[in-house]
Structure 1
């Protein structure tokens, strides 16, 4: 059974979605039962995978038992196992919101949700570019359907922009992969690590052109400035449960960039991206200040969190990179909480929706206001939640001496203050500066959405409680990225010659 664990995160949602389409197209109760059972199975498998690689072992699953580079390989190490567990936990929490609200507003929600999870799992587990592209497309096609779920003109308009941007990204991905394959003769990450040092001088220009184009594609997926323009509107107008899951999609781009650049190309760091990380932080924080709705505010907060993440990923030291990966988990949970909360406010206020302006009282205002307060603390990075620990660990790993280190400190601290101002402004207008008793005729917030919000916020608190072992775990995962010998050996049976 242990030998087949790596395929199960992809297989379970794929089979579940197919069964739902075949047997539960018009049976919502059955679809919900299947979805919840699938989520429980995914969570159990994710825990088993994490336990299997806890000691540093790398699990490799070769479909059809074909050798590298001819066959399809799924690879599980510390980092990919942690990302699979994060995905499973997030998916299970969001299903609580979905089964109480969003799955009634259109057909095929649950199959699309399962296919979305399948694509995310596959992107984290795949060991080669071909399947990374396939899983990206599965993930994106499912996200198109989820984004327009429930209808609406604004949702459709922003979904079209999202689709166009990602189709351009997919086209560039194909061009880039063809260049890399032409120069190196392989699409497997580990095999590429072996072949890059031996690429002929005449082909190095082609390899670097393909590599740089792939980096652009991954930065587009991650929504790093100047390629972030599509995210706030697209996610801000998507259904809350879908947008909350989309909070993980930008992390897929960052993950793919790490695998490709540090493992495949053998770069020592992503330091060249640090100025882009600063700009991403600034754009996200300023966007939060000016956001017209809570959904768009959550989108800009996600952009700002990507900036913090890339400040960590730009370092060449395992401690700094590990702090960035710790913050990745925190920002995913916090971003999802903000999107769920915006959706609950939108539903409770109805006519005013989630607009950031003063209006009438609405049902559940005190409850949702408390949730927003905790989510804001987490997003800004104030104690006692995990955002504070993540930013503190990140800043402690960056030496102040030198221009780049000092600039990172300044951008992280200044933008944290701007985020505090923007979130305080939005919270006071939506939850405090209200009038009348408009909430008397409205129903309270949906129980499933409140439960999902509570679980996500509890997750940020729990993440702070396990900060020490979690930081140690991700520091080890970062060290394996910077020194990928064990990964390459496990996949190819050969060592890295660099």
Structure 2
């Protein structure tokens, strides 16, 4: 029985990662949401609440195991192509599992599992259908990371964005409604631009399959190549909006700060969808082998990324609330990641991927920690002003110190390792001075901003609390959710060497567009099956760029 289940998973692993949260969401909707805003409820309502939580948590735990299996399967370099309806690419819909997509699916569940556990402490009952919408969000995220087609990337974008609209308003409130309107309008505008960019690409290539595009874009010349470059820049704007890249980051601090703590923590992975899409399009399609349309975003991406990192750190330094401070740190981390991406070498991309893991986990944990502290500060909440003393200053202080040290990049935590990897990989490149200066300066600003927040929260205590009602200590469930992220952060530091080897291989695999085309298109790819071409970094990388690794045989699933 176990062998049969394992064989079934091996055959259908990519699509099951999308179907699991989808079917779970539909099951939760059929279960109903009576008494959804009445706390634990009693009788039948209480039983429904418990079953919703059990079903949702079980699905996320199973999804986490499956995601770990995807990383294990992709770890040997095998490209798994799943043809929906057995229609071959580029005519049919395909899901493609490689090292990068597997890593991002696992990161999604590493965030989702502690967040959902934290939400079951009470947040899930402050609005209706929280668990169902949460699962639809996971469906959109997994689909976006696994799809091999730009149009289906748009479709999964819309799925996760629609779910995020509802999650943002979860718990209600005037500020959430106000920021929700801004969020919806901006993302609708981004979706419109997305379709325009896709239309332009389809007009000159006749396809939206990523592997097919990589081949056809390289053959474009003249006006067709100019249109393709323009489409690439439009997509950079779209994905830059999703990732919160300057000057399109202004929506994020207020939106994330107004969201409930578990929703804001889950949204830490949302900006990484934009980052992932930039990597897929501007490395895999408009990369160094794209002919006249190659590296269309290179002149823009690095300067914008460095500016984003600096402005995010300055925003955190000037923030008047802890939640807004963490939101600005999200912006700053995106800039640091995209700086590595924008250097367009396998070494810098590998470092950026490692830093992506760290920053996403730390930011999610900080959002939960902020609410734990705010709940014990009386009327001040998360505002950075003197307030009553915390009920658990030692425990929360240690958690704050750990989170701050990791976010700022102090040794020996993974934030330090990630930034060190970026600095080392940038050595010898033309932009080395800019990258080093910005990364080090941003680290200093982050330390100062977090130290300022810590001083206000833990030292600037109001002496008279007689008339102020102070919350009791946080429950073990809520604490465990925040501690889970800290445990993952420690694991990233302890396992830095194998994780870095994986990201190295993922970066090299992504640069090998010939192997990707062979796996997805087969004989239509125009290259010999199961072969690779060494990465020639002459257009963007130093002479000693990491050579391509030998690709494992591609596997096509029905």
Q: Same fold, TM exceeding 0.5?
A: yes
Distance in 1 of aligned mates of 2:105 and 2:20: 13
Shift of 1:213: 0.6
Paired residues in the alignment total 497
Partner of 1:121, secondary structure, is helix
Residues 125-148 of structure 1, C-alpha deviations (whole Å, 9 max, x = no match) = 000011111110110111111111
Of 479, 482, 489, the match for 2:508: 479
Distance in 1 of aligned mates of 2:412 and 2:486: 12
In the alignment, what sits opposite 1:9? 17
Of 246, 254, 267, the match for 1:233: 254
Partner of 1:351, secondary structure, is helix
Shift of 1:317: 2.1
In the alignment, what sits opposite 1:276? 304
| Change in 2 beyond 3 A, CA 1:155/1:496 | farther
Please tell me whether residue 413 in structure 1 is matched to residue 440 in structure 2.
Answer: yes
Distance in 2 of aligned mates of 1:50 and 1:444: 38
Task: Indicate conservation of the 8 Å contact 2:94/2:149, yes or no.
Answer: yes
Residues 210-254 of structure 1, C-alpha deviations (whole Å, 9 max, x = no match) = 221111101111111111111111011111101111111111101
Residues 252-308 of structure 1, C-alpha deviations (whole Å, 9 max, x = no match) = 101111111111223466642111111111101100111111110010000111111
Task: Indicate conservation of the 8 Å contact 1:100/1:447, yes or no.
Answer: no
Please tell me whether residue 156 in structure 1 is matched to residue 182 in structure 2.
Answer: no
Of 104, 109, 114, the match for 1:93: 114
Of 89, 93, 109, the match for 2:130: 109
TM-score (norm 2): 0.86
Partner of 1:60, secondary structure, is strand
Residues 87-108 of structure 1, C-alpha deviations (whole Å, 9 max, x = no match) = 1121111111010021011111
Partner of 1:206, secondary structure, is helix
Structure 2 matches for 1:253-332, cutoff 5 A?
A: 253-267=274-288, 271-272=298-299, 273-332=301-360
In the alignment, what sits opposite 2:473? 444
Q: Which moved more, 1:310-319 or 1:332-341?
A: 310-319
Residues 6-35 of structure 1, C-alpha deviations (whole Å, 9 max, x = no match) = 011110000000000011422211110101
The structure number with the bigger radius of gyration is 2
Q: Which moved more, 1:432-441 or 1:14-23?
A: 432-441
Shift of 1:200: 5.4
Residues 416-446 of structure 1, C-alpha deviations (whole Å, 9 max, x = no match) = 1011000000111012211347487422123
Distance in 2 of aligned mates of 1:437 and 1:125: 56
Distance in 2 of aligned mates of 1:401 and 1:318: 13
Please tell me whether residue 134 in structure 1 is matched to residue 171 in structure 2.
Answer: no
Distance in 1 of aligned mates of 2:170 and 2:375: 15
Shift of 1:191: 0.7
Partner of 2:81, secondary structure, is strand
Distance in 2 of aligned mates of 1:280 and 1:259: 20
Distance in 1 of aligned mates of 2:518 and 2:227: 26
Task: Indicate conservation of the 8 Å contact 2:377/2:470, yes or no.
Answer: no
Task: Indicate conservation of the 8 Å contact 1:282/1:415, yes or no.
Answer: yes
In the alignment, what sits opposite 2:424? 396
Task: Indicate conservation of the 8 Å contact 1:400/1:406, yes or no.
Answer: no
Shift of 1:467: 0.8
Task: Indicate conservation of the 8 Å contact 2:378/2:388, yes or no.
Answer: no
Q: Which moved more, 1:416-425 or 1:45-54?
A: 45-54
Shift of 1:482: 1.6
Task: Indicate conservation of the 8 Å contact 1:101/1:446, yes or no.
Answer: no
In the alignment, what sits opposite 1:465? 494
Gaps of 5+ in 2: 1-7, 35-47, 290-294, 528-532, 534-558
Of 35, 44, 53, the match for 2:65: 44
Please tell me whether residue 336 in structure 1 is matched to residue 344 in structure 2.
Answer: no
Task: Indicate conservation of the 8 Å contact 1:115/1:138, yes or no.
Answer: yes
Of 205, 214, 227, the match for 1:184: 205
Structure 1 moving runs of 4+ over 6 Å: none
What RMSD over aligned residues (CA atoms) do the two structures have, in Å?
1.6
| Change in 2 beyond 3 A, CA 1:228/1:441 | closer
